[in-house]
Structure 1
Amino acid sequence: MTARQLSWTLRRRVVALLAVVGVLLGVSVAVEIAVAAKNREHIHTLLDRTGPLRIQSQELLNVLVDQETAVRGYAVTGDREDLEPYVQGAEREQQLYRSMEPLIDVHPALARELGTVKAQAADWRRTIAEPVVVATERDGTAAGQALITDQARQRFDAIRASVAELQQGILDQREKGADDIYRTSSILVVLLIAAALVVVVAGAVLLISLNRMVVRPLTSLAEQIREVAEGDYQHHIAGSGPPEFEQLAADVDAMRQKIAKDLAEVREARESIEWVNSQLQKQAEELVRSNRDLEQFAYVASHDLQEPLRKVASFCQLLQRRYAGQLDERADQYIAFAVDGAQRMQRLINDLLAFSRIGRLTTGFTEVDLNKVMGDVAGQTESARQYAAAELTWGELPTIRGEEPLLTNLLANLVSNSIKFRRPDVPPKVHVSARLVGDEWEIRCQDNGIGIEPEFADKIFVIFQRLHSKDAYPGTGIGLAIAKKIVEYHGGRVWVDTDTAEGTAIRFTLPALPEDLEAARAAEQQAAEAPAAEAPAAEASDAGKPAAAADPAVEGAAGAEPPRQGGSRAERADDASQSDSTGGVKETVT
């Protein structure tokens, strides 16, 4: 093959082969169509012309014979009825001429012979038949028989001979037409065989070409790819065959090179990651040990500090009671400072101990009804609410999985802070509501207190972080840190809603139960199916919307000190103390 042929693409080769086969088949089809048309014409001539002509020529002979017989019989008997076949035969003869002439005009020789028969028959009637009929009618049968001579019979025999020649000519045309049909049919068969041979040869050539140009190169390429797939990424992939396959092999080899390069980088990265993972594992183990030691230290320290603190507080209180008024005023002030410091240290230690126990000492998760929890919270905060004339309300709250003591502590801290950080001369109002957001319940504790500036929203959850002085708002500043740890222990998150127009809104999320999610989906589907139906007032239950308020809440957290003054935003900003989720300083009530 030449270099030009070797550069042909597979598409070009296939197109060239199909073009040659198409041309051959097209020529064959064209010839077959022409031969088939000729064959159909021969069949038409044989069936629609020659066949009827043969039958009508025989009938023509019979009609002429009937006329001659009728004339001879009439001359013998003189009976007019014997002449009837002559009259009918003459009419039928003319009909046959009219029928045969359109069929025979394509054969000039037969047309001339038919004209000869027609002329001879007409001359016979004029010179023989009609004179015999007239003579018989006028002069009797003897006169008519006298006209029927040998010459008359010879003239009719001439008509017979002409009709026989016509029939023979028609028979010759019929045989010629049959030969033409046979010949054209044979040609059609030959052409069909040739077309079949073209198809078979083209198929064989195509099969051989595909095997040579497609199958072999593809098999070779597949074998090389398998070698690479088995791990020999350095094996060079070479292509053969048409240019497309060579290009494909080049592309696959380029991909192999890129994969080999990426694998080398991956190996290096994996080794680096394994080293980093080993370091991280060591650090994680060290962090676990450190956290365990820290928790143990906080727990032990808080316990170990209790005894000396109790002793200090007890003796300071004893000094205060026994020697109050016996010393000077400055000594009484110093003793009061010592008693207050010891008591505050006890509260700090107790809060730190409570903080360290969250998630470490667990009773296991159960289904907790937050409505019942709020009832307990209302009881715990009753004294503080009565002191501050506070109002506590809540909507329909969900049932979630968690630890009831921790959740009670969480809500009690939020409600206590809302009552503590109130505005002066404004009765506190606290409302707790819930709504379903996605697959979580979002709980909202809203109050009308002093609020919190957005820039301090993240600081209030830091342990011992305060935004006010302890004289403005009592407490240790660990309440919201405990609340945050409880929420995160239950798989949620907590934040301050800074978009509240008045007071403070603390929001936190808790995972919803599967049945609540299914009920919410069913409600949404029902609402979609009946959009015209009036939606009932939804309580913050399955639909996730807050409902009407339940009980007025009772005030105060058990054991909490009532706030001595309202405090302002400016005061909270000046102090680095912890802020309440409802807008004031938050602390754990002990």
Structure 2
Amino acid sequence: MKLRNKLMMLAILPIGLVIFSIALLGQRLYQSHLAIERYVEIQTNKQEIITSILRYWGYGHGIHHFKNYVLRGDDWYRSQALLDLAKVEDLIDQYMAYEELSLEEKQAMIVLRSTVSAYKENISLAQKALEESRSIRKIDLLVKIDDGPAIESFKMFNDYFRKTKQDALQNYLDAKNDFLSTSIITIVLILGVTFYTSRWFSRSMIKSFNELVQICRQIKSGRFRAKDLEAPTAETTTDEIKYLRHNFIAMGRALEESFSRLKKSNQDLSNFAYIASHDLKEPIKKIANSSDLLYLELERNLDSESKQYFDVIQSSTKHMLSLLDNVLDYSELRSQKFEPENVDLNEAISLCQSDLELAIQSTGAHIELENLPRVKGNPVLLRTMFRNLLSNALQFRRKGSIPKITISAKPTKQGRWVISVEDNGIGFSMKYRDKILKPFGRAHSREQAPGNGIGLASSQRIAELHHSQLQVYSMEGVGSTFSVELEEAS
């Protein structure tokens, strides 16, 4: 049997058992629910009927009107008493219409019906006695009825309905316990069948999977050699595990080739960095030095336009040297590795301020520094990142406005710190947010603000090395906020 068929059977069997069990249990639970619901509905209706009987029987209705008729002889009370007693008889008929009444219920209803009939007969007797002008005392003795049996019937109904509520609760609990016990038995059976089926299938697959594990271990440890392994081609094999083994070997071969290309690419990148730092910088330095010497020799004979040309040459060579230095720094960050250590951000920011002291003094910038935490990271890289962010805030300032820079820290629920650098500079549109975090990405032209477009890209790379991202928020004419999340020091 193919692996696919085995796994399919292994998956379908417990699922089928689960579906069948759920359907069976659901049907039983539904039937129990309907039975309990019907039982509760009938008992509730019966209790409402008894309540109505008691209402039409008692004070303000049947018997009350009957007694008032005896005492006062007013026909209105007689007619109201007859109406109420007729209503009671109608309610008794409704109650007796229910099937499966208990013997106690039937006997109680018979007592109530006979009592109502006695009252109706006594109303006629009272009417005749009143017509004969008998005394109220004699009439009262004539029509007096023993209500004791009826009262006992009402008490019986009160006890009966209390018992039905207990029965309904017990039925619910019995259904619940039955459902739970059946569910447990079903789950045990499903687990048992699944366990033995899985065990039967797994024995036939363990050996092949062990081979795959060995290949994975070889790939992980770097000891994998595709040429040392043989496997049937994907086109000829019909066994899925063998097919998987073939693809594992092919994947290992591809990883070998990719790793080799990656090593060569890293070496080429290192060579490029070396060329950029030496071979490219050296001729530019010569151009700069030669232009300086030539300017010194010809300064007296140069007109203003020629001096401007020399200024362009000098500023361009300086920019080119700065650009090469930045590119070299960024390329070194790509392969940077370090062991994290505890870093005092207050100290790191203080060193950044010392590095940028001239720029801070020349712009009159005001830097507000909150009490910052100690975090895990590389002190040199973190200092570089915050120096870049502070330098950006000083460079991209608004004309006629004193730069105001706030550095704050906010804890997170995950035990990390969000460090933010906020300024009141020229800001930029958020559509440039992704662009400025890439090498040479700019939101403003070089005429608007100086810079090489490498600082923020380097800062983003440093954030990534600290398992974070540089978050950016800015608004044109208002300012910018750069935030990075760092792990709290241990």
Instruction: Report the TM-score when normalising by structure 1.
Output: 0.41
Give the greater-gyration-radius structure (CA). Answer: 1
Indicate the structure whose relative CO is greater, using CA pairs within 8 Å and at least 6 residues apart.
1
